[in-house]
């Protein structure tokens, strides 16, 4: 069968159902194959025709694209499964599963980027996890070719929360635009929220999310391949211990400056209290300074660590670490309050 006969046979379809006014589920009369038929503006032809030349297991296959009655019409692979949006509605993903999904998306995006195509709409509704576990990127409706020397996109398009800042006219979209959206999506899979609503911070994956979603594209990963490599290791290459420690201090694990200020004030008051204890109880006696310091640290920092899960240690505690996250957090927060209550009499007896 030559190319003409193949395409003629491909378009012999019956409509199974209408998803909306421009999208239908159709069945090929000759093979019985289910496909998605979409009608779009004619200026979408070049991009979808280019996508039809790409064969990647993580990109929904575009079988053909034609111009008909001044519209672009395509036949696309029908993927049986559920979108990330549908699956997260039943419950957030485990870290390993979310990272696995993200790495499959990276594989598909890598192929698109090699063809100078930016997807620009990596969202929970545009990622399907097939019944076979294979992840597929769908919907190239706002995808664009990367244009050399262009200063910004010609149209402001994108899904709120997932669209990178450059999609709103700051500069031209490129591969780093998809990296931003994938970082938001990874956070969504783990928390059910976008980073501005709730930021995942339970492990090194949080550093990957922060790097992906940096406002400045130059500070994101240089390529989708670098992101995939970091996801494989579950850590950002070159992140220093000091960086990691700072991002795990309660009150400084978010990008919210107001939270930073409040935390800074509280830490200042705490250390001022420690200084007052030195003055009133130790009288600069070196034999008392160190024991009192140790006791104060135990009084303040251990309950803080219990309450805030610093460095994600809660998961490492035998037996309790296997509890579900809400149960585990509730247990440690109650324990933190109880530890403060019982430590006060011990402290008073210690410094008297």
Cβ atoms 214, 206 nearer than 8 A:
no
Say yes or no to pLDDT of 238 above 70: no
| Structure-model confidence comparison of residues 241 and 290, the more confident one | 290
Which one-letter DSSP state was computed for residue 145? Answer: E
Q: Please state, rounded to an integer, the average pLDDT across all residues of the chain.
A: 81
> Which pLDDT value is given to residue 58?
96
- What percentage of the chain carries pLDDT values higher than 90? 47
Tell me which H or E stretch contains 187: helix 175-191
Say yes or no to pLDDT of 11 above 70: yes
**Confidence label for 154 from pLDDT (cuts 50, 70 and 90):** very low
SS (H, E, C) 60-99: CCEEEEEEECCEEEEEEECCCEEEHHHHHCCCCCCHHHHH
CA dihedral 313, 317, 320, 322 (to 10 degrees): 80
**Confidence label for 295 from pLDDT (cuts 50, 70 and 90):** low
What would the mean pLDDT of 75-95 be, rounded to a whole number?
A: 95
What would the mean pLDDT of 207-223 be, rounded to a whole number?
A: 91
Among 144-148, 169-173, 202-206, name the one with the lowest average pLDDT. 169-173
| Structure-model confidence comparison of residues 174 and 40, the more confident one | 40
Q: What is the pLDDT of residues 296-341, one digit of tens each?
A: 666 666 666 666 666 566 666 677 666 766 777 777 777 777 766 6
Structural domains for the chain: 3-77 (3.30.200.20), 81-247 (1.10.510.10), 257-351 (no CATH)
The stretches of 72-170 forming alpha helices (DSSP H) are 84-88, 95-114
| Structure-model confidence comparison of residues 345 and 110, the more confident one | 110
What would the mean pLDDT of 157-167 be, rounded to a whole number?
A: 77
Among 26-30, 99-103, 234-238, 239-243, name the one with the lowest average pLDDT. 239-243
Say yes or no to pLDDT of 240 above 50: no
| Structure-model confidence comparison of residues 332 and 117, the more confident one | 117
> Which pLDDT value is given to residue 294?
64
> Which pLDDT value is given to residue 225?
94
Among 41-50, 88-97, 287-296, name the one with the lowest average pLDDT. 287-296
Token readout for 133 is 């576990």
């Amino acid at each position: 069968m030559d190319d003409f006969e193949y395409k003629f046979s491909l378009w012999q379809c019956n409509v199974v159902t209408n998803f909306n006014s421009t999208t239908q589920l159709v069945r090929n009369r000759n093979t019985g194959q289910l496909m998605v038929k979409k009608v779009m503006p004619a200026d979408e032809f070049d991009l979808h025709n280019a996508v039809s030349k790409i064969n990647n297991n993580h990109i929904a296959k575009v079988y053909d694209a034609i111009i008909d009655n001044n519209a672009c019409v395509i036949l696309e692979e029908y993927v049986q499964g559920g979108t990330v949006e549908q699956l997260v509605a039943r419950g957030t993903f485990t870290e390993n599963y979310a990272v696995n999904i993200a790495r499959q998306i990276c594989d598909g995006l890598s192929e698109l980027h090699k063809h100078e195509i930016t997807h620009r709409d990596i969202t929970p509704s545009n990622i399907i996890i097939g019944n076979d576990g294979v992840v597929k990127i769908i919907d190239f409706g706002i995808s664009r070719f990367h244009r050399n020397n262009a200063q910004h996109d010609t149209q402001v398009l994108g899904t709120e929360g997932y669209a990178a800042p450059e999609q709103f006219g700051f500069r031209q979209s490129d591969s780093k635009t998809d990296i931003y959206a994938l970082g938001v999506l990874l956070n969504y899979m783990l928390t059910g929220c976008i980073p501005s609503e709730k930021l995942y911070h339970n492990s090194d994956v949080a550093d990957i999310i922060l790097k992906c979603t940096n406002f400045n594209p130059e500070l994101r990963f240089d390529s989708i391949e670098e992101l995939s490599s970091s996801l494989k290791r579950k850590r950002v290459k070159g992140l220093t211990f000091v960086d990691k420690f700072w991002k795990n201090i309660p009150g400084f694990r978010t990008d919210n400056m107001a939270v930073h200020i409040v935390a800074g004030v509280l830490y200042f008051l705490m250390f001022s209290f420690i200084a007052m204890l030195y003055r009133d109880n130790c009288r600069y006696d070196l034999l008392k300074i160190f024991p009192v310091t140790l006791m104060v640290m135990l009084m303040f920092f251990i309950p803080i660590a219990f309450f805030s899960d610093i460095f994600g240690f809660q998961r490492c505690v035998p037996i309790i670490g296997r509890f579900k996250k809400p149960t585990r957090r509730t247990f440690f927060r109650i324990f933190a309050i109880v530890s403060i209550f019982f430590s006060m009499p011990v402290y008073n007896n210690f410094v008297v």
